[in-house]
Amino acid sequence: MKRPLATLLCVLLGNLLPLVGHCQHAAAFSQNPEVKAFITDMHDRYGFDVSHLTQQFATIRPNAVVLRAIRPPAVPEKQRSWQRYRERFVNSQRIAGGISFWRRNAATLQRAQAIYGVPPEVIVAIIGVETVYGQDMGSFGVLEALASLAFEYPPRAEFFRGELEQFLLLARESGVSPLSVKGSYAGAIGIPQFMPSSQRRFAVDFDGDDRIDLRNSTADAIGSVARFLQQHGWQYGAPVAVPARVTADPAPLLVLGIKPSLTVSELAREGVVAAAASDLPAALIDLVTPGAATEYWLGFDNFYVITRYNRSSFYAMAVFQLAEALRAARDGLGYDVR
């Protein structure tokens, strides 16, 4: 995919000036031949009005901030730090906010657990990590963000074109203008930051008002997070992760990935020591911090389920540890965030 010179200049400006958004010198998306073909396809497959959809794409341009944010760090080995990542999410402020959120929504969280089998602390932790309990849902126009990634970011263009398609369908089903919806730079929406495809597939009306509104209904957000995890295989009462000690070369086990494939006893024969109550399938998880000893854990099926929300072991561990901290604080046991 060739990118117009104006777009490349726009991205460069976005790198130099962090507050620059879409570049006025870049052509509107409606002038992009690939967008025109996309609009025609949306008409042929779903009956969208070509003129109306073209008008909407005429109001948006490639967003330099979005395109800069999606790119991997230039020096990833200096950026990847579990300790630094953890401090962002497992801290006294996030715990206090989570306890307050839990208290306000206790009945809804209990109902979600009864229906979907997901503990309240896990639901609260995901919402806490994603949007600080609904306080930071993103300020990017979702249509512009998804279009920028679908047509100006070749490495993941196919994925984001699919999400753009799902977003337009979602907006039509919800009766809202696609131009009115705000979200993250990657197009995630609402209190739980669902991508459009996840919202259409997993979100539920949990407050009984006959509509799904993840931006304004905390109940819908709670029910939808619980259903997402349940649909991805959450096991009620099963463990999530336990610390581990590695006495042999961990590399052969780490290449197996984060999906559990060996039992605890099989891992023990490979030099992984962990205090696990049962011989369940698990995966070896490494949490790397430059200049510090690597933390090793065993992640069970429920840990893997959390990574379906965000495919990062750092993310899943932050959710798990925040959930543990919230449960301890809720039970009056206290929690050391260090």
Give, rounded to a whole angstrom, the gap between the first and last alpha carbons of the chain: 47
And the tokens for 45?
């497959």
For residues 81 and 318, give the distance between their C-alpha atoms in angstroms, rounded to a whole number.
12
Contact 55, 45 (CB under 8 A): no
The helix, strand and coil proportions of the chain, stated in percent and rounded to the nearest 5, come to 55, 10, 35
Q: Find tokens 């503990």 and name the residue.
A: 119
Contact 152, 67 (CB under 8 A): yes
Catalytic site residue from 121, 130, 144, 163: 130
For residues 227 and 245, give the distance between their C-alpha atoms in angstroms, rounded to a whole number.
34
And the tokens for 148?
């920028």
HSE-CB for 86 with a 13 A CA cutoff = 16
For residues 93 and 40, give the distance between their C-alpha atoms in angstroms, rounded to a whole number.
48
Number of Cβ within 10 Å of residue 57's Cβ equals 23
**Helical H segments across 17-134, by residue range:** 33-46, 50-58, 64-70, 76-79, 82-89, 92-104, 106-116, 120-131
Task: Give catalytic status of residue 295 as yes or no.
Answer: no
What amino acid positions are annotated as catalytic residues?
130
